[in-house]
Amino acid sequence: MLNKKLLSVLLLSVFTFGSAFASADYSSVEDKGYEHCKKDCGDKYTKTAKITDFDKLLVGVSSSPYDSVDGTFFVGGLANSSGEHFQRVVMNRTAQEAEANRMEAVEYFADRFGLNALDSARVIFVGFEMLDGLKYRIIAASEDKVPNSGWKINDGGWVAIVIDPNGYDLKDGRRVPPGTMFAYGDYLIEKSSSNPRDKKNIHFKYRSNQPIIQQADGSFQINCEAFHKKWGEGRIIGAALFRPLANGQYGMNSRVVISFSSFGDQIDAAND
């Protein structure tokens, strides 16, 4: 059971924002663009050419108002976040496989950052699944036809969040502030195509390459390593901004670029 005081401090540090955002009028915000394309654009498909230097390049967005019990983007909110549905249903893992995946996250956080995810006095460590209401989706993919409505991104896994009010000293000598997050998870992208035979989903694992630290304006950057069976090692680079809305919902504005490989063929070749 999470300590209520620690939870409130965490939510205040991670999911509250400046007074300029809080006082603004966002009551008219609607997800018109997404719904417009579904209804009026006939869900047309746009093909992106092969991108020089990369085996695969994908672009994702989220820009939809969503409902949340505590302002977070987790199913059930932070206090009730378990990620069980994501592990057992979306990823189709057995209980034993899900636990093994959980321990992989614990070991990675310790090896990469020197973070003890199981130190409950200093860190919250939970399973998570991103809310459907975010409408997190791929809008472009090299050498693929993507519909206007995009390909749904199922995003979930394990997250460690620093709750120590003094921060946390990492193995590289940095001290990160409370609210800093570390993620270890999976992307399962529900691929569709104008060719009805082409229905294979895109799956890859990812893990934080750098701590996720929120800035004063509520934004944060994402830098994760990615691993795909065919395309090999890649990188997820993104940014997100959250805002509470006057209608009681929350707004997530995020942009992410996913590339395989991480740096591109020319840079990789120059480094050989």
**Domain range summary for the chain, segments of one domain joined by +:** 4-270
The CA distance from 36 to 112, in Å, is 44
Mean pLDDT of the chain: 83
pLDDT at 247 over 80: yes
- Quote the longest CA-to-CA distance of the chain: 54
pTM for the predicted model, two decimal places? 0.81
Query: Can you tell me the mean pLDDT for 92-98?
Result: 95
pLDDT at 49 over 90: no
Output the pLDDT for position 6.
43
Query: Can you tell me the mean pLDDT for 248-266?
Result: 89
Closest alpha carbon to 105 in 120, 115, 91 = 115
Inter-residue long-range contacts of 121-124, CB under 8 Å, 24+ positions, other chains counted:
121/164, 122/162, 122/163, 122/164, 122/168, 123/160, 123/161, 123/162, 123/163, 123/164, 123/168, 124/2, 124/6, 124/10, 124/78, 124/160, 124/161, 124/163
Output the pLDDT for position 27.
35
